[in-house]
Amino acid sequence: MADPCLEFHDLSHGWVDSPPLFQNFNAELEAGQITALVGLSGCGKSTLLKLAAGLLLPQAGSIVGRYQRSAMVFQSPSLLPWRTATRNTALPLELRQHPDADTQAQQMLDKVGLQGAYDKLPHEMSGGMKMRCAIARALVVQPDLLFLDEAFSALDALTRRDVHALFLQLYSDLGFTALMVTHDIEEAVLLADRIWVLKGPEAATVESIQVKMDRPRAPSWRHSSDFGAVCASVESAL
Amino acid sequence: MKRLYPLIAALLGLAGWTLLAQRYEAIILPSPNEVFRAGHGIFGELLVATGWTAAAALTGLGIGLLLACTFAVLFVRFRWLELALYPYAVVLQTLPVIAIAPLLVIWLGYGLGVSCATAALVCFFPLLTSLHLGLTSTPSDGVALFQLQNASFRDMLLKLRIPYALPYLFTGLRSGVGLAVIGAVVGEFVGSNGSPPSLGYLTMRKLRSADTAEGFALIIASGLLALTLFLIVRLLERRVLSSWHTGGAS
């Protein structure tokens, strides 16, 4: 078995004058898998994701990371409104002084189905197109580790279904490790190989549920009885 | 129809002014017609003075903008500097420029320097506050995006914070440009000896010699100068922002 991509050791964190969000959190993120973080609202899922991404420093404990490049897809697409789809997608490469940023960005836009939208500004794109562009921007750096912070929650049901199918396809094609926060149990079961359920006071308990479904997965899997059974087990764990 | 509203308001204002002027002597309140004739009589002088005042206002605005940009960026980069200096920037704003102008005459001597300095002083604070607000209003996801790529402060400033701050900058410039004209005219009241001739100096001279109609014409020229500069800023704002920011397109 490969070394875990991320290890959380006795992680504790909280906000000033508030009870700690989690105490002595321990977990390992398996390389090459998609892991979903679910839990009740306010249990610290997004904070844990930001700690994992290095955007916050933990108050206690440590995080050991074994990856070269990471990227994040946020809840809102967070595209820069003055940049076209190509220039938005090329941004991470541009920041890394990549010589061929625009060409690579357009290749990635092709992969997410935005062939005809190279020169579109964000306000000229639909919600689904913006999210596809945000995914392209994250994947253009070929990240070993991808963070998703409720990335699909703002999309309408039909668009979300399309983006789920796209994400499953990209995962099959590119192969990356992902840690995703979601409050949608069905989304977690559909996309993830493992689901961490944060529960108990101070998220002291993490129940890890494995989703035993071979890849590549078809989105139609959500209609099967197996799918319903996994959803029920996650719900009962919450 | 809505475009006609300002014109209707102006016509009503002129009619009211004309009626009111009939009740007073021209030395107290000249009629619009008398002001127009007086302005026409000194048109050449008025044009040259407007040019010099515009030069002072724009130089002051440029200096104020440069200082505001410098301090806003430093405040974002060094939080301790913001904590140390921002209260004094607020104090600077509360000092009456008319009281500072004589001091500037002592330091800079009579001439254009005083009006440039007063213009810079009055527009500095609104530009600083709007720029500082703009630079610190960058969406947190955008900042996180740059942090994840280990972007430098320079990249984050040039590619993220400054573009997001542009609408705020233009808001500051719209008020700053009018203030710069006021500042320049106030500086000219106190710090000009007529060389070069300017709107503030001429207004003061004409009103002291009871040429009220000419004084009115010069005051109106100051207002028109501020309005013209405001419209130029608005045009620039549309050019720069209209493709991606709703405020620029309105």
How close B149 comes to chain A (CA, Å)?
Answer: 6
Backbone φ, ψ for residue A188 (5° rounding): -60, -45
- Give CA–CA dist A104/A140, Å, rounded: 7
Helix B212-241 to helix B199-208 angle, to the nearest 10 degrees? 160
> What per-residue confidence (pLDDT) applies to A23?
81
Q: A223 pLDDT exceeds 50?
A: yes
| B139 contacts in chain A (CB < 8 Å) | 78
> What per-residue confidence (pLDDT) applies to B91?
85
Residue with the two structure tokens 């990371």? A65
The number of angstroms, rounded, from the C-alpha of A3 to the middle of its chain's C-alpha atoms is 20
Partner-chain contact B149 A141, CB within 8 Å = yes
| A141 contacts in chain B (CB < 8 Å) | 149
Share of chain A above pLDDT 90, in %: 55
pLDDT bucket at A203, cuts 50 / 70 / 90: low
Of A55, A81, A95, the CB nearest to B151: A95
Residue range A26-76, pLDDT digits in tens: 889 999 999 999 988 878 888 899 999 999 998 889 999 889 899 999 999
Average pLDDT score over residue span A174-197: 92
Q: Which residue of B has its CA nearest to A70?
A: B148
∠ CA A166-A172-A174, nearest 5°, is 95
Q: Which residue of B has its CA nearest to A74?
A: B141
- Please check whether residue A46 is in contact with residue A150, taking contact to mean a CB–CB distance below 8 angstroms: yes
How close B134 comes to chain A (CA, Å)?
Answer: 15
Partner-chain contact A78 B243, CB within 8 Å = no
Q: What is the pTM of this model?
A: 0.85
∠ CA A104-A105-A106, nearest 5°, is 90
| B243 contacts in chain A (CB < 8 Å) | 82, 121
| A49 contacts in chain B (CB < 8 Å) | none
Size of interface A-B (CB pairs under 8 A): 51
How close A124 comes to chain B (CA, Å)?
Answer: 10
Of B147, B149, B243, the CB nearest to A121: B243
Of B144, B243, B244, the CB nearest to A55: B144
How many CB atoms are located within 10 Å of the residue B186 CB? Answer: 22
Residue range A118-129, pLDDT digits in tens: 999 999 999 999
Number of residues that make up chain A = 238
> What per-residue confidence (pLDDT) applies to A38?
92
Compute CA distances B217 → A100, A120, B15, B55, whole Å. Answer: 61, 51, 17, 19
From first to last of the 250 residues of chain B, give the pLDDT tens digit. Answer: 788 998 999 999 999 999 999 999 999 999 999 999 999 999 999 999 999 999 999 999 999 999 999 999 999 999 999 999 988 888 888 888 888 999 999 999 999 999 999 999 999 999 999 999 999 999 999 999 999 999 999 999 999 999 999 999 999 999 999 999 999 999 999 999 888 899 999 999 999 999 999 999 999 999 999 999 999 999 999 999 988 876 554 4
Q: Which amino acid is at A15?
A: W
- Of B123, B146, B137, B122, nearest to B168 by C-alpha is B137
Q: Which amino acid is at A109?
A: L
DSSP3 helix / strand / coil % (chain A, rounded to 5): 40, 25, 35
| B151 contacts in chain A (CB < 8 Å) | 95
Of B144, B155, B245, the CB nearest to A95: B155
How many CB atoms are located within 10 Å of the residue A110 CB? Answer: 12
pLDDT bucket at A12, cuts 50 / 70 / 90: confident
> What per-residue confidence (pLDDT) applies to B108?
94
Q: List, in order, residues 6 or more apart from A205 with CB less than 8 Å away.
A: A198, A199
> What per-residue confidence (pLDDT) applies to B250?
40
| B140 contacts in chain A (CB < 8 Å) | none
Partner-chain contact B160 A80, CB within 8 Å = yes
> What per-residue confidence (pLDDT) applies to A17?
74
Partner-chain contact A71 B148, CB within 8 Å = yes
